[in-house]
Copies of this chain bind each other. A is one copy, B any other.
């Protein structure tokens, strides 16, 4: 262990000034009416002593801890949405804030504990992040700091940062159209009509709405719509095999990359080549998409930018909800024109 920590009083003493003076100078208050000489002495003293302010003490006094809480269901511990945390972390660091990360597994009890733990530590703001965009449970606790929803929504806190899924959906169809494919397109992963009311999430519903509208706008129709609830590679594989038994589409529009991954496997086994025989477009820009051969063209989830925006919004005094554009990542699964 080291010797005791250097305090502001130590700095003031060495500089031959009061702690007040030292405090004002070091915190850089604009209305300082202290001499340039005093400034120099204090800074020199602080530097030579290696002074660092005690944030806990400052927080006690000012109610500002320069820290924010990132409360999520699974974001930090799952790879799917790790971009959210990456962006948030980067923005927090730039703003010289520190981020407490709390995971709740979506369980109300842990959610409550997480909020309490964060509030007990005087965080300056809360971010509720969801792995998959949806209505998020927010514990019914008094929350007196700026709060924003990330990749999810809450009736209580209306400001949220979400991907612009509707436009993303449209872009996917437009990509196909621009590649000259206006017929023979099959949809992989649509949820059956019977489940239409309970789309896995609001945002996915918007993704689908964008697709639907763009299809109509371009006078296109799906040659097949294969429905499944779970968007895992195995389902993409099964669905594609089933599809190939009766049809030979020109393109597959997959609702996410893992489904597309399964489709690649089935296509490969059937000796069908991408993109010559069948083109693919998908969503999410999962890391998988870059591993595939040929690389998968996909409409990416802008997680990193979303995380960043959430922190900026929080620190900048909230504002209005944000829709973040989904980038088009072109790889090789669509024919070049």
Contact = CB atoms under 8 A, between A and B. Distances in A.
A100 B102 contact: no
B288 A265 contact: no
A103 B101 CA distance: 12
Interface stretch (A10-18, A74-82, A180-188, A189-197): A74-82
A117 interface: yes
A118 interface: yes
Contacts of A233: 291
A5 B55 CA distance: 20
B79 A79 contact: yes
Q: Of residues A54, A90, A113, A288, which shows the largest number of chain B Cβ atoms within 10 Å of its Cβ?
A: A54
Nearest to A304: B77
A52 B100 contact: no
Contact of A77 (B67, B89, B258): B89
Contacts of A79: 79, 82, 287
Copies in the complex: 2
A93 B1 CA distance: 26
Contacts of A117: 96, 98
Interface in A249-265: 258, 261, 265
A142 B119 CA distance: 29
Contacts of A142: 2, 50
A122 B119 CA distance: 17
A103 B93 contact: yes
A83 to B, nearest CB: 8
Contact of A291 (B54, B55, B261, B269): B261
A114 to B, nearest CB: 8
A2 to B, nearest CB: 4
Contacts of A287: 79
A102 B121 CA distance: 17
Interface string A60-85: 10000101000000001111001101
A335 to B, nearest CB: 20
A92 to B, nearest CB: 9
A156 to B, nearest CB: 13
B60 A56 contact: yes
B100 A98 contact: yes
Interface of A: 1-2, 5, 50, 52-57, 59-60, 65, 67, 76-79, 82-83, 85-86, 89-90, 93, 96, 98-103, 110, 113, 116-122, 142-144, 233, 237, 258, 261, 265, 268-269, 287-288, 291, 293
23 contacts: A1-B144, A2-B144, A5-B144, A50-B142, A52-B116, A54-B122, A56-B56, A56-B65, A56-B122, A57-B60, A67-B121, A76-B76, A76-B101, A77-B83, A77-B85, A89-B102, A90-B103, A98-B117, A99-B101, A100-B101, A265-B293, A268-B268, A288-B291
